[in-house]
Structure 1
Amino acid sequence: MFEQYLSIKEQYPDALLFYRMGDFYELFFEDAETAARELSITLTSRNPNDASRIPMAGVPHHSAKDYLARLLEKGYKVAICDQVEDPRQAKGLVKRAVTRVLTPATVLEDESLDAKEETFLAALFWNDRTDTGALAWAEFSTGEWTGFESKKEQELWQWVHKLRPRELLIADGPAALHKEMRAFLDEGISLVPMPAKAYFDHAAAVARLLKAQRVTDLAVLDLTDKPELARCLGAILAYLEHTQLQEATHLAPFAPLDRSRHLLVDEITERNLELFVRLDGKKGPGSLWHAIDRTITPMGGRLLRQRMRQPWREMTPILDTQAMVAFFHDQDGLRQETAQALKAVGDLERLSTRVCLGRSMPRDLTGLRQSLAGLPHLRGLLTAAAPPPALAKLLDRWDDLGDCFDLLHRALTDSPPPTITDGGLIRPDFQPELTELADLADHGEEKLKALLAAEQAAHALPRLKLGYNRVFGHYFELPAAASKQAPAHWERRQTLANCERYVTAELKSLEQKLLSATEQRNALEHKIFLEIRDRMAQARPRLLFMADALAGIDYWQGLAETARRWDWTRPTLHDGLALRIIAGRHPVVEAVQGASSFIPNDLDLDDDRRILLITGPNMAGKSTVLRQTALIVLLAQMGGYVPAREARIGLVDRVFSRVGASDNLAQGRSTFMVEMTETARILRQATRRSLVILDEIGRGTATFDGLALAWAVVEDLARRQGGLRTLFATHYHELTSLEGRIPGVRNCNIAVKEYGGEIIFLRRLVPGPADKSYGVEVARLAGVPPRVVHRARELLQILEKQGGEGRARFVEQMACPAMLPGMEPPPLPGPAAPAVSPQALELRKALQALDVEHLTPVQALTLLHDWKQRWGKPD
């Protein structure tokens, strides 16, 4: 047995080998120690008294799924080694073989999958000779896959970070993964180095692709001019064949990702806007997903995630989606009935995948039956409500899959068992042969009694009895005195002192049927189940079409329900660059705090206001305004309603964000280094149609360094393509002097009111710069000890008195023409403090004595002329 175990384990060194022994899966050696540690199960030994003891651990076969799910969640691979022959018929050791390798990205079981999240398997390849690379990814449980090529290696890694695949295939070798790139990978991503020649070879990849997609030319897949992408796709196919031990026949027709059709939200923006998780990495309240997800089905939930990652940037799909959402938004009864109908729909995509790959269990087919049962009713609901054109077109192509439902309804029992070999799967009346076997298995005793009664009546033998023993089986028994009346065709089997025992051909035939009826019935039900599964597998294209249709309906009603619940409005989108939001709110903050606690804000970006410099104290709400603007744009280009009284959105191609402060110790990057890296990406990649939100640029370094960098960033954003749409929150009040100096730059501030020595945050965005930062007051509100606050106020007064002139000189120098591109700025003057001249002292006294309120215009002109004669002449 150990020889067999070790020979199989040698083929799968990187996986935990679950070796089937009776009713248990056993693990040995290092695998047993790992499983015992990760699953908290008992570590035993095959030979505990031997010096060369072999560690051993096991889990029951019937409950292995739970243990497997826990191991996969931790990133382990598991090779399932099953008995591949009947132990009753085996001669010697039962044959065993690995039937499947479970990996984090190739699981199909619901226990290991989040219903509304994708689980991606990705492959990345970079060709140094051509300076071109590609990234491809597949959702194995649904069969969807796509990818793209790029001349920018950094862009590929950005997408890896954005998609967060559970497994990433890379070409094995010293240059396969740059050291600095490792830090981009989350802990949940398993790197899988694969032999480049075996997995990323172009010729082999093309052969696998053509076979898997059943095409004869790469042009059909739009891959003729994308060799690196073909390599990645071939690597995915090879990996699936290796782990699943069968061809990936369920994969959808491949199409490269068209990034030009979607608003791009990079991984940094996705994190900063807290689309799916909060900044602390946790799910739940505080994320946009939690605030807007009202989908019912798993397919609808996954479509919502896809649209949040990739909103549209084309007008037509946005307007079509808006029309659908409005259709459900305006009809509360229809929306509620639709949601109720969708509750009966299971995950058609993943169900059909398990069916197609032969991995489905009875509950999968009953789930499919339940999902199909309500399709006619749902179609009737939508058709009767005068749907918009796009939905009407979908309903014209609607497929109730009535033939599939009818087959499943007629064949499957109401509550089949969890396995496919124990019988009880198929209704007895589904086939005549099955009816007979079920009748025998369930009513065998009655048939024996009926045969006895028939023999008694036919031969006038009222004393005839029916008996059974292990030697002869069933028999007829006559008293010795009546043995002469036994028919001639009866076969005597045993003579006893007071009776004779007989068998008949009919009794032996019935007995044989009874003995084998259960086994034959189970075998026939298994055969019928496989035939039904094959029929459902052939219907997979139809099932996937309806899965897409139901996902869309669920997506639309979910957005409509969210809009109705929070009183959102339908935005207007246009091809210009202006962006106008009236009474906009932050959808997540509003969901957490309630609508009554949130103060809306107006915001305008147009030709005269391309860059808004937003000032105000900490905690006033600058970051909230920045984030809510970006979220409103995303929601609008998803086709949904937005949290505002009115919104006019000029289409956006990318949303960039530089928000918050964080370091990256794994890369050895300080907070300021991370800030500058993210800023550099924005300045290099932003286009005329982008929306940029920046929060506190330059705060991680010395004051003048940070101010100079923030100033230069504003200049660059204003100079490029007539000015990029930007919201720039800052504490550098010196930047507010840029209004009027640089076209398109305007000042705004978050209003604050001082009352009774306290500050009140009004949360309103108003025109103009803030008068001061209120940093010391915010520190006091945060609970900083009074002695520290008091000392800070003293120091602030000193710094304000001594540093005012120096700060003014700095602003004057930064705003002078020497700041034009390509020219070096003049050296800043030192903080000289020249002696005050007698003339200046005399002028100061004259100003102090001047009564401005009672000065007439003529007196003022006369006084000014007199002063100029006395003190205005050159020295």
Structure 2
Amino acid sequence: MSKSQKKSAHTPMMQQYLRIKSEHPDSILFYRMGDFYEVFFADAQKAAKLIDITLTARGKSGGNPIPMAGVPYHSVDGYLAKLVKLGESVAIAEQIGDPATSKGPVERKVVRIITPGTLTEESLLSQQQDHLLAAVNFGKDQIGLAWLDLGSGRFAVTEVRTESELLAELERLQIAELLVADHESTPTDLLQQESLTMRPDWHFEESAATRLLLRQFNTKDLKGFGIDHMPAAIGAAGCLMQYVLDTQKQAVPHIHSIHIEQQDECLTIDAITRRNLELELNLRGGSEHTLAAVMDHCATNMGSRQLRRWLQRPLSDHKILQQRHLAVAEIITRSLTDKIQVALKPIADIERIVARIALRSARPRDLSNLQLTLQALPGLLGCIQSCSTNLLTNLSDKLPQLPGLATHLQVAIIESPPLLIRDGGVIATGFDQELDELRHLSKNADQFLLDLEEREKSRTGYSTLKVGYNRVHGYYIEVSKLQASDGVPVEWVRRQTLKNQERYITPELKEFEDKVLSARERALAREKLLYEQLLDGLQAHIPAIQNIATGVSELDVLNTFAQRAQSLNYVQPELVSYPCIEIRAGRHPVVETNDNVTFVANDLDMSDKQRMQVITGPNMGGKSTFMRQTALIVLLAHIGAFVPADSAKLGPLDR
């Protein structure tokens, strides 16, 4: 589509398309037309090539056919997934006007821009990994990095001093989309990142970013979050927040706080070491034979994602780690692993469900799954109610029971609702009297039609006469052409002629049709209104549901640590205050799970007196395996897990 194309040379509908497209030049525009999303001009050519859809034409521009392609609205998620995976962004233009009252083209507007870092749909996301949007801001003395999982509302920042530290953080976080300032000083290494999106410099300006964050968090200052002294991080967070608002085209109430990840709170792992340790991805890019694959036996997707966060960021604080170790030990001692695992099974991915509730994109089954989760919470709490360790006691406080909300959802939503609200049949009978009355009118239509059919058969003597309905022509009385040629009652008005039949309408049937179709339309409209009201009511519960999600995920990980310790013969590490790494009969946690390998355990003794050891041996003799084994044992201990050894004593570490 060139600049020379004149809008006046197009139909009103195409003029509307060109206007909307001009506002979103960097996105593929999906333009809703009935049951399809259509794309035109260069977007159509691009989409046809990228997602393998048919390229055709519609009308002409400057004497040339206008390229056009389209996808059905009911299967759009699959096509969006392909485009986003290829790094494209897609602007979704929906019909917001009423076709019945529109004199020209139905009013449309972009309701959302889907980008690689702003996905929230269940079908577009990895269930076991966070999907992060990040922004980098190069400040005077520090580099600010902010990241957000829009699918959960988790928002965090940090500041680093060097580009190498920044690249290590990006390697750790595995960003889906990175926002950087559109200026020449952006480092080359950063420009080589995948899914890079350039943003205007002023989006990173500290004062504007501060005002935006204060509005989002509804607070007077940022001191409560501890970031008021971090100008580079504030600029990155403000740019990211602005981008989210620009793409979502609505408020995002599930983002109501921000967390600092201080660099001195965790063990430093540079990008090369992270890759070589094969924490989540092996050296071939797959997920098998990794530490995550060995450790992840979580019952919930929330737990799997929490486990990966802990793996990505091993802590240095011995107090926090010892609390985790004690919790794991108590779960083992009280034989709770199986009980907790069973209690976790009914728990849905409410971390992502609550985000869709906040964004008003939650589907009926999301609300049904939320209700089932709330009903399952008392059973989960019962598993740890008698526990005495501080961490498990505190987790109980993160699992607030919401019996009133659970009951409300149970009364409102049918047990197994359809996928989408637009089809109706979601709101339970008895929840709303007006809806029940409209549905009753629609359901009684069948009996009326049967009575009418029998009456007309008796009156005309046509035994094959039938009364039917189709979406195009509505209700009708159908007889054969032969019967029609013999004569029909004078009040019958021909509605449709087929090859072998004639179809008629009567004043009585027309009156019934108007009444029933109106009732069905009103019932569907009423149901949609009630569903929107349900979403409205859930907004106040967002923080509580997020706390439940956090508590469930942490308990799931601790229980998984306990289960893995029992199944794989791991031991509780001892964390001490003096420098040492003393490991007896240590084993590589990944290599030892290979059924084809007999693993020989190894000792290691390093202290303030013995700070260096030399490893010798032939090629493929296990030298690098021993070094990786030591690193992984240390890492497991510093995420709160037990370790593969007969014993392990570890002093303070920073890398």
TM alignment of 1:198-597, pairs within 5 A: 199-284=203-288, 286-332=289-335, 334-383=336-385, 386-396=387-397, 398-444=399-445, 446=447, 514-593=516-595, 597=598
Between 75-84 and 145-154, the greater mean CA deviation after superposition? 145-154
Secondary structure of 1:366's counterpart equals helix
User: Secondary structure at 1:611's aligned position in 2?
Assistant: coil
Q: Is the 1:421–1:523 contact (alpha carbons within 8 Å) kept by the matching residues of 2?
A: no
Instruction: After TM superposition, give the deviation of residue 89 of structure 1 in Å.
Output: 2.3
Once the two structures are TM-superposed, the CA of residue 202 in structure 1 deviates from its matched residue by 2.2
Find the aligned partners of 1:468 and 1:639 in 2 and give their Cα distance. Answer: 71
3-state SS, counterpart of residue 554 of structure 1: helix
**Offset of residue 51 of structure 1:** 6.0
Structure 1 CA distance for aligned equivalents of residues 532 and 198 of structure 2: 37
C-alpha distance in 1 between matches for 2:446 and 2:171: 67
Query: Once the 2 structures are TM-superposed, how far is the Cα of residue 161 of structure 1 from its aligned partner?
Result: 3.0
Residue in structure 2 matched with residue 137 of structure 1 by the alignment: 147
Matches within 5 A, 1:21-60: 21-47=33-59, 52-60=64-72
Distance in 2, matches of 1:9 and 1:244, equals 17
Alignment partners' CA distance in 2, 1:15 and 1:469: 46
Residues paired across the two proteins, number: 600
| Secondary structure class of the residue paired with 1:142 | coil
Equivalent residue number for residue 199 of structure 2: 194
Secondary structure of the structure 2 residue equivalent to 1:374:
helix
Cα separation, 2, equivalents of 1:89 and 1:307: 55
- Judge conservation of contact 1:261–1:314 (CA < 8 Å) in 2: yes
Residue 565 of structure 2 aligns to a residue in which SS? helix
C-alpha change, 1:373 and 1:509, in structure 2 (3 Å) is farther
How far 1:635 sits from its partner (Å)?
A: 0.5
Distance 1:111 1:157 in 2: 30
- 1:254 is displaced (CA, Å) by 1.3
1:9 pairs with one of 2, 21, 32: 21
Deviations 1:119-141 (A, max 9, x none): 111111113xx333211111111
**Partner-residue secondary structure (3-state), 1:115:** coil
Q: 1:564 to 1:468 in 2, by over 3 A?
A: closer
Give the distance between the partners of 1:617 and 1:71, measured in 2 at CA: 49
- Let me know the Cα RMSD of the aligned residues: 2.8
SS at the partner of 1:170?
strand
Letter aligned with residue 347 of structure 1: D
Q: CA deviation at 1:515?
A: 4.2
SS at match of 1:605: strand
Q: Say whether the 8 Å CA contact 1:428–1:438 is kept in structure 2.
A: no
Contact 2:587-2:599 within 8 A present in 1 as well: yes
Aligned partners of 2:399 and 2:552 also within 8 Å = no
Shift of 1:517: 1.9
Shift of 1:215: 0.7
Indicate the structure (1 or 2) with the bigger Cα radius of gyration. 1
- The whole-number CA distance in structure 1 between the counterparts of 2:394 and 2:359 is 32
Closer, same or farther in 2 for the Cα pair 1:434/1:590, shift >3 Å? Answer: same
Structure 2 CA distance for aligned equivalents of residues 447 and 56 of structure 1: 46
Residue-by-residue CA offset, 1:793-837 (whole Å, 9 max, x unaligned): xxxxxxxxxxxxxxxxxxxxxxxxxxxxxxxxxxxxxxxxxxxxx
Which letter maps to 2:267? L
Contact map agreement 2:491 2:507 (CA 8 A) in 1: no
Query: 2:187 matched to 1:178?
Result: yes
Match of 1:72 in 2: 84
8 Å CA contact 1:132–1:153 kept in 2: the answer is: no
Structure 2 CA distance for partners of 1:443 and 1:351, relative to 1, 3 Å: same
Equivalent residue for 1:776? none
| Distance (whole Å) between structure 2 residues aligned to residue 58 and residue 397 of structure 1 | 47
Distance in 1 between residues matched to 2:410 and 2:360, nearest whole Å: 20
Q: What is the CA distance between 1:98 and its match in structure 2?
A: 0.8
Give the one of 119, 143, 147 matched to 1:107. Answer: 119
- Say which is worse superposed, 581-590 or 428-437, in terms of deviation: 428-437
In structure 2, do the counterparts of structure 1 residues 342 and 117 end up closer, same or farther at CA, with 3 Å as the change threshold? same
Deviation at 1:156, TM superposition (A): 2.3
Q: CA deviation at 1:448?
A: 9.4
Q: Could you list the runs of 4 or more consecutive aligned residues of structure 1 that deviate by over 3 angstroms after TM superposition?
A: 47-51, 180-183, 444-451, 467-470, 507-515
> In 1, Cα distance between the equivalents of 2:393 and 2:168?
39
Is the alpha carbon distance of 1:515 and 1:627 closer, same or farther for their aligned partners in structure 2, counting shifts above 3 Å?
Answer: closer
Q: TM-score, normalised by structure 1?
A: 0.65
Q: Report the secondary structure of 2:84's partner residue.
A: helix
Instruction: State how far apart, in whole Å, the 1-side matches of 2:618 and 2:234 are.
Output: 53
Deviations 1:51-78 (A, max 9, x none): 6122221111111111111111111100
1:645–1:432 Cα change, 3 Å: same
SS of the counterpart of 2:395? helix
Superposed displacement of residue 154, structure 1 = 3.5
Q: Which deviates more from structure 2 when the two are superposed, residues 409-418 or residues 138-147? A: 409-418
Q: 2:485 matched to which residue of 1?
A: none
Q: What is the rounded CA distance, in whole Å, between the counterparts of 1:331 and 1:538 in structure 2? A: 37
Whether contact under 8 Å (1:116, 1:299) holds in the other structure is yes
Residue pair 2:254, 2:543 contacting (<8 A) in 1 also: no
Supply the AA of the counterpart residue of 1:652.
L
Of 511-520 and 571-580, deviating more is 511-520
Instruction: Supply the distance in 2 between the matched residues of 1:397 and 1:222 (Cα, whole angstroms).
Output: 22
Pick closer, same or farther for the CA change 1:231–1:448 going to 2, 3 Å.
same
CA contact (8 A) 1:133 1:149 kept: yes
TM (normalized to structure 2)?
Answer: 0.86
Task: Name the CA shift for 1:494/1:181 in 2 (closer, same or farther; >3 Å).
Answer: closer
Give CA deviations for 1:727-764 in whole Å, capped at 9, x if unaligned: xxxxxxxxxxxxxxxxxxxxxxxxxxxxxxxxxxxxxx
Tell me what 1:694 maps to: none
SS of match in other structure, 1:647: strand
Q: What secondary structure is seen at the aligned counterpart in 1 of 2:43?
A: helix
SS of the aligned residue for 1:46 comes to strand
Q: Are 1:237 and 1:248, in contact at CA under 8 Å, matched by a contact in 2? A: no
The separation in 2 between residues aligned to 1:47 and 1:609, in whole angstroms, is 81
Report if aligned partners of 1:12, 1:79 keep a CA contact under 8 Å in 2: yes
Q: Which has the higher contact order (CA 8 A, sep 6+)?
A: 2
- d(CA) in 2 for partners of 1:280, 1:164: 16
Native 8 Å contact 2:330 2:387 kept in 1: no
1:469 & 1:262 partners in 2: Cα distance? 71
Mark the runs of 5 or more structure 2 residues left unpaired by the alignment. 1-12, 453-465, 470-474, 477-489, 493-505
The SS at the match of 1:88 is coil
| CA deviation after TM superposition for structure 1 residue 252, in Å | 3.5
Q: What's the offset of the Cα at 1:268?
A: 1.9
- Asked whether the equivalents of residues 36 and 43 of structure 1 are also in contact (C-alpha less than 8 Å), the reply is yes
Q: Please state how far the C-alpha of 1:390 moved relative to its aligned partner.
A: 2.6
Residues 384-409 of structure 1: CA distance to partner in whole angstroms, max 9, x if unpaired? x5453431343256322211111111
Given that 1:73 and 1:112 are in contact with CA atoms closer than 8 Å, whether structure 2 keeps it comes out as: no
| SS of equivalent to 1:313 | coil
- Per-residue deviation, 1:310: 1.0
Identity %: 37
